[in-house]
Each structure stands twice: as structure tokens, then as C-alpha cells.
Amino acid sequence: MCDAQLTEKLLGKQVVFPGKIIRLEHWQVELPNGGQALREVACHPGASAIVALDDEDRVILVRQHRIAVGRLTLEIPAGKLDSPDEDPFLCARRELSEETGLTAEHWQKLTCMETTPGFCNERIHLYLATGLKQGDCHPDEDEFVAVTRMPLGEAVARVMDGTFRDGKTALGILMAASLRASDHSNE
């Protein structure tokens, strides 16, 4: 099947809920067969997330309670773009500093992931940060996190055994480990 036989055409949008973090919209679309359908889309400004590795190849993680899933999680530092136009790299630097107190000398873009394309347009920009220097944490006033360090190999094992279920954390850790493995094979 060619792309034209799969592509929907946007006919119109209506805001249903103008939330603080997401905006829920109804999108009327024309289907490839000429019919019409309603799509509910959660609109999100985007985010950045950071796999920060220290000089001992330990990944920096933040433990926090996520009420939506009802448990404490270990995740890579991340945060929402202040606006859809914000530079994702500037957001990544800000979030790493806010949540961990760290700054990084070296940055590398890993990828941009689409978290749940079936109903949400959120994109998370993933970065690798190395050459870390410790400063003071300054999380948002409604953000409570504890910083921990874990060997990269252990973090990969936790992704593979299903302990780390957060998509950005899993993808970021696996990409960083792959890069580290190829760096070591080129030495």
C-alpha cells in the first residue's frame, strides 16, 4: 500500500479541554477511503530528557512519585518545554540543573521520540550529557525528587527485565549504552 492510501487529512480542530500541561482537542479527519472520523488528540508542548553519565559510567536517575501510575519511579531527568518554540537543548540544560544540580561539559543529541502517537503529539528530545559538574539542585516548588546514581550496566539490566517501564528512560539508557559500547570498541 502506498502512503496516500494510509494518510488521513485534517479537516478541523476544536479545543475540548485547555489544561495546564495538555490541551485535549477533537480533530475531524478525512480517511483514505473518503469517510470521516473523529480523533481525540492530547496536545503537549514537548519535553527534553537527559541521560547524564558520570566519569564512572553511572547514570544519574531521579526517584519521584508519579500519581498517574501510583508508584515511585526511577527516571532520567526530564522536563516540559516552556513553550512549543523553546529550544529543546536549552530545556535539557535547565532540567538537568534543576533536578540534579548538575551541569555538563559535553552534550550529544540521541533522538526525538514520540511518546504515544496514537493519541498524543508529545515529542521528547533525548540527550546524552557527560563531563558532569555538581552544583545545587533547585527543583520546581511542586517537584520532589531524590537523585541517585546507578552503573550503566545495571540500568540496562533493569530496562531489559522490565523494572524500568518509563519509555524515555528505557530508550535513553539503551541508546547511551549502545554508544558507550561502540566508543569502547573503537579504542
Q: Is 114 a catalytic residue?
A: no
Indicate if the alpha-carbon torsion angle 130, 132, 138, 142 is positive or negative. Answer: positive
Please state whether beta strands 23-30 and 9-18 pair in parallel, antiparallel, or not at all (unpaired). antiparallel
Contact by Cβ (8 Å): 108, 84: no
Indicate if the alpha-carbon torsion angle 109, 184, 56, 132 is positive or negative. Answer: negative
Side-chain half-sphere CA neighbours of 68 within 13 A: 1
Q: How far apart are CA 51 and CA 128, in angstroms?
A: 5
Catalytic residue among 56, 105, 141, 187: 141
Continuous segment of H or E residues that includes residue 158? helix 152-160
Catalytically active residues are 141
